[in-house]
Amino acid sequence: MEDMVPEGYPIEKHRVNTEDGWVLNMYRIPHGKYRNNKPGPRPVVLLHHGITLSSACWTLLNANESSAYILADAGFDVWMANTRGNTFSRGNYKHSYRDPEYWYHSMDEYALIDLPAQVNTALAVTGAPKLAVVGHSQGGSLAYAMLAAMPEMNEKVSVVAHLGPVVFLDFLRAPFLKAFSETRNDLFFYNWLGELLPHRYLAPYVHTCRDYAWSELCMSALNTAFFGPSMFISPDDNPIIFQTWPASVSGRNMAHWSQMLTDSQLRFQRFDHGTNCSSRNQQFGETCNQQRYGSLQPPEYDLSQITAPQYLFEAGLDTMATNEDITEQKRRLNPSAFAGSTIYEKYGHMDFVWDRNARHAVDLVDLLYRYAPQ
């Protein structure tokens, strides 16, 4: 990660130790290169990547095109998070990545253990009273879940900027993820399922996509399967993108999202452990819903409980974070917490991180300054 940052931008790596034995790497750009490049207190912003991505998504392009550098040059102290198990956060005191237990985590752990620890680390290091969160795709979903389930974290967040937030998968139109939901029962009952889309194994195949002759075809296939069309991702950047994508994802996390899709009840909920409480079904310390939650159904993440301001950036061509999904999010949020929304009609899901013109950047900077602690 450090090797990807252009000369002139300071880069720091911070280790975050979680309560359950993970070592997460966060990366910090404390100030910019071209403007606002003096050390000193400044508004803190935490960037959180989407599913299958890593902190690299914020730094891949040139300095005037990547969100991390744009925000640093605009005067922000920029922190970038990584979910457990991805390319930049592999450390675990208890298990090797070859162990099934290593991959026994989903959105619940990311939102309720990892993200609070990352927020607290950034605040402790900087001494800031609050920070802003910018979440792309699942990154925004994690912010929703954390703030809904942990009221005290709302006091530490000045605003959340959601870039293509995904919550209610009933409205999903992405072909690959819709097809993946059909494997929900297998994923649920076979907890041995570990890592999906491991970069180290896929690298020989993805390397083909780094060849300019193949890169446009690869990106077109990727957007069709996952994200929706893009009018703004440059074919020239595809080889750079495929250097770090995919960044690995837990099969259990995919199962979690798959559960919410197949349940078709507009529920944004915790992992469904099922109702079979027999000891034979309890692998890796697994429990049933009754034992874990005290109910047959997993509890929902209630968006109406969020008090920190939430601003939604929508992509008109998005097949993952669809406009219907975002409309439902707005309906569920407490009116006092809904800070507004902007739609970019010609954007696709990945344009928020891979569009070299970063058309949303001016609006994002304005929003973050509007809510920056005084």
Catalytic residues: 137, 318, 349
Cα–Cα dist 185/296, whole Å: 17
Contacts of 301 (CB under 8 A, 6+ apart): 111, 144, 145, 148, 149, 268, 269, 270
Q: Which of 176, 166, 173 is nearest to 328 (CA)?
A: 166
DSSP string, 250-287: EHHHHHHHHHHHHH-S---B-----S---GGG-GGG--
One-letter amino acid of 302 = D
- Partner residues linked to 12 by β-bridges: 28
Helix axes 115-126, 138-149, angle to 10 degrees: 90
* Closest C-alpha to 308, from 108, 124, 143: 143
